[in-house]
């Protein structure tokens, strides 16, 4: 059971989705990926920091061989997207000729994902898809196809399960919504 309303910095957050609901979505995405990449060894690229819990739980549920790599980008200040995407830790692995799946915690404006798809796509992977744990379609500012979607949520700021508010809240097992 999620704890009652939590306070992070100057904001209050109420329980939104439970750990059980989150893990059910992870299992569904893992089933889809395992089916679509059967007989292949995709390279999963987890976008840090937010996707670390999603990536960890997803890998435990996959029934296929895969490799994982990590990149780090930043586009948020407080509770809003800055509109500018800053690469902090770049991709070290070659993706040419590989089946690649980008693992993202949340796609809202789409700025980060647009930039990542362009950069990784330019390296000529055999295929390139996105698995986003959370989707905010109301916020999308770029035409993106997100093939693997965990949970579609409304345009509310959320924390927990890897997502933060100015560095706090990533450690909660449940998802909390700003009130």
Beta strands in 49-98 (DSSP E): 67-77, 80-89
**Contact residues for 9 (Cβ-Cβ < 8 A; gap 6+):** 165, 166, 168
**Within 10 Å of residue 179's Cβ, how many Cβ atoms?**
11
Measured torsion, CA atoms of residues 171, 91, 23, 32, in degrees rounded to the nearest 10: 170
Helix (H, G, I), strand (E, B) or coil at 27: helix
Which of 129, 125, 87 lies closest to 107, judged by CA?
A: 129
Name the catalytic one among 108, 164, 166, 174. Answer: 108
Q: Are 79 and 157 in contact (CB under 8 A)?
A: yes
Q: Please name the residue that has the structure tokens 């930043």.
A: 74
Q: Is 174 a catalytic residue?
A: no
- Show which residues are catalytic: 108
């Amino acid at each position: 059971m999620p704890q009652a309303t939590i306070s992070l910095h100057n904001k209050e957050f109420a329980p939104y989705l439970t750990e059980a609901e989150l893990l059910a979505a992870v299992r569904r995405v893992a089933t889809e990926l395992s089916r679509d990449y059967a007989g292949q060894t995709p390279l999963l690229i987890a976008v840090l920091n937010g996707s670390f819990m999603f990536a960890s739980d997803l890998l435990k549920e996959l029934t296929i061989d895969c490799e994982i790599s990590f990149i780090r980008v930043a586009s948020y200040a407080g509770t809003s997207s800055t509109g500018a995407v800053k690469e902090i830790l770049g991709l070290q692995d070659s993706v040419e000729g590989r089946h690649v799946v980008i693992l993202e915690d949340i796609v809202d404006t789409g700025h980060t994902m647009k930039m990542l798809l362009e950069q990784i796509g330019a390296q000529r992977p055999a295929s390139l898809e996105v698995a986003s744990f959370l989707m905010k379609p109301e916020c999308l500012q770029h035409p993106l196809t997100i093939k693997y979607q965990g949970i579609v949520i409304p345009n509310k700021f959320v924390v927990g399960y890897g997502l933060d508010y100015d560095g706090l809240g990533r450690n909660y097992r449940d998802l909390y919504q700003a009130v």
